[in-house]
Structure 1
């Protein structure tokens, strides 16, 4: 049993490295660490090898963050650590729930999500056909008033999910600024209206998250605007050698 400990140790350490990067940029561009524990969402459930791996890895991530879709990790924390609820998620559309409406009715699909989840935050994947068109013409025009009706506690979280992560996110945030405006925070960085945020869940690892946050700050944007989701790079793209985590237990009687 002990020689399998490398897995949750490694996940927790990688999750901690994400937290350090996010904390550095959040502090520099917002002046505080508020909301840090929600900045990295665990998308790794479907990418691991078993329910047991999902539980171990998911629970290890929850040492650092309280944002997850890996239910097995929550159940493990409940059962073995008497933790009533170690993590949280929000309602979120996926590609199948958008494209089932057909390309010509993408706006109606988005609107239906807003209707279904009129209170509380909601995430809507928006690149089923063209992320830039969706942000500029659907969210930023046809549904603009519906978006602006929402509050900070019921914000719309737009999810781009294809293309180069850094370049796509920068372009998306510029479009949203053009359509919805922005303000400056206490340290002089730009922040979208409180009812609007972005989550980048594709292509996220320790290298890309640093690159994205650096580019955002270089363009004058606060890390407050974005959340990240990480799947295989958090729970699966690792092995015992990732952190040189090796030990053996032996018993010898002479």
Structure 2
């Protein structure tokens, strides 16, 4: 796949250099996830630093321009070769633009600008909008994955705080990424998988580890997995030797945590009779623990039944919060049929049945990494100001046929209010001593405010705690008002 920024755009963008009004010198645009009907909607911002390093820190050369020219020749649009050659010669091939952005990992109300871009060379006002396609694509997808991961983590964490004695330690491994095979490309796996690991530590998407190491500088391994069986390795033993297949797993991997897919033939027979009787003593003697994986049946009631059967066979304890915790040698993971809604339902059922969320983990595949579109959170990049040499003049889109598509007028700033909530204001309304949360991260070939992985993940978890506290407080207030 080409990393040529001249080609990483929509075709029609190549005609825009002759569409701006005469005398235009600078154009400003911003990116946001526009508000929907629910004004409490949030997102988690992620992915910009990787784009900057991968696309903007590699200079345009004469060869880059020639490649673009040869591909676009006869395509039906003018090619602005002279401006690109000027950028290559006078700007060392680096785009003369400035990008401001919020801190990645931030939890942001929809309708608040995430990024603001302007050109820095007055000869190229067209350049601001030219990068829209690549820049927007670099943000909407990982932010969508991160948002789903964060919201799911909030659901799990809330239940853990009610049912577990160690919610902060437990939550990091409660949602596992199984999405690598369900995405459109290896690059998508890396980007989306990294977005998930912003909130959790469990993943089978190896490309995500490489992505994080390349762009976010972790000090150690950013994600973990465990040995696990699949149906091919279990059914290859034959139905008559099903117990032998499981016994082999205990023998090879019983020194640590490992998972067995258990529904190749009869899930409940496996749990009741093979695990619960024939192999019970072997399981109790493990140094590690067996994680039972149902992979068919009702995605809510089947894992509940498995947890109950393991309780009957192996017992456990009741913790200080009054919830049952299985014998530490057995746990359950449910991946089949899991999405944000079904995880919330399964969490609720576990709590209703009196079991701690300590007992179960969850997995998501294509629903985590692939089930997203740009319009889900209405991501858009819009021009908000233009400068003809005498200062910024407002630019705004305001369609009468869809007021929700109205864009912001004027250069933007973002402030943090007294409660810590991010709010958009006009840049010219920023108090003299006020802090603009939109900080410069790229300008004229230089990267600023580099982010490091451990700082991102720590900040993300801190925001999770604040988010859950806020939601809990609001729920209590609403219940008190209703009473």
Tell me which interval the TM-score lies in, with the shorter structure as reference length.
Answer: over 0.9
1:129-178 CA-to-partner distances (Å, cap 9, x unmatched) read 11101000110011000110124xx1110000101111101111111111
SS at match of 2:332: strand
Aligned to 1:63: 198
TM-score for both structures, normalised by structure 1 = 0.95
Per-residue CA distance 1:44-72 (angstroms, 9 max, x = gap): 00000001100100010011011100000
Structure 1 gaps, min length 5: none
| Structure 1 partner of 2:366 | 232
More strand by share: 2
Alignment counterpart, residue 228 of structure 2, candidates 82, 87, 92: 92
> In structure 2, do the counterparts of structure 1 residues 24 and 150 end up closer, same or farther at CA, with 3 Å as the change threshold?
same
Please say if 1:103 is aligned against 2:236.
no
- Map 1:16-27 to 2 at 5 A: 16-27=150-161
- Partners of 2:227 and 2:270 in 1: CA distance: 19
In 2, the alpha carbon distance for the partners of 1:186 and 1:165 equals 29
CA contact (8 A) 1:3 1:248 kept: no
Which has the larger helix fraction? 1
Give the paired residue count.
252
Matches within 5 A, 1:1-254: 1-4=134-137, 5-33=139-167, 34-83=169-218, 84-151=220-287, 154-248=288-382
Moved runs in structure 1, 4+ residues, more than 3 A?
A: 248-254
Check the 8 A contact 2:254/2:290 in 1, yes or no. Answer: no
Deviation at 1:195, TM superposition (A): 1.1
TM score, norm. by length of structure 2: 0.51
* Contact 2:283–2:290 under 8 Å retained in 1: yes
Cα distance in structure 2, aligned partners of 1:213 and 1:250: 44
Partner of 2:30: none
| Root-mean-square deviation (Å) | 1.5
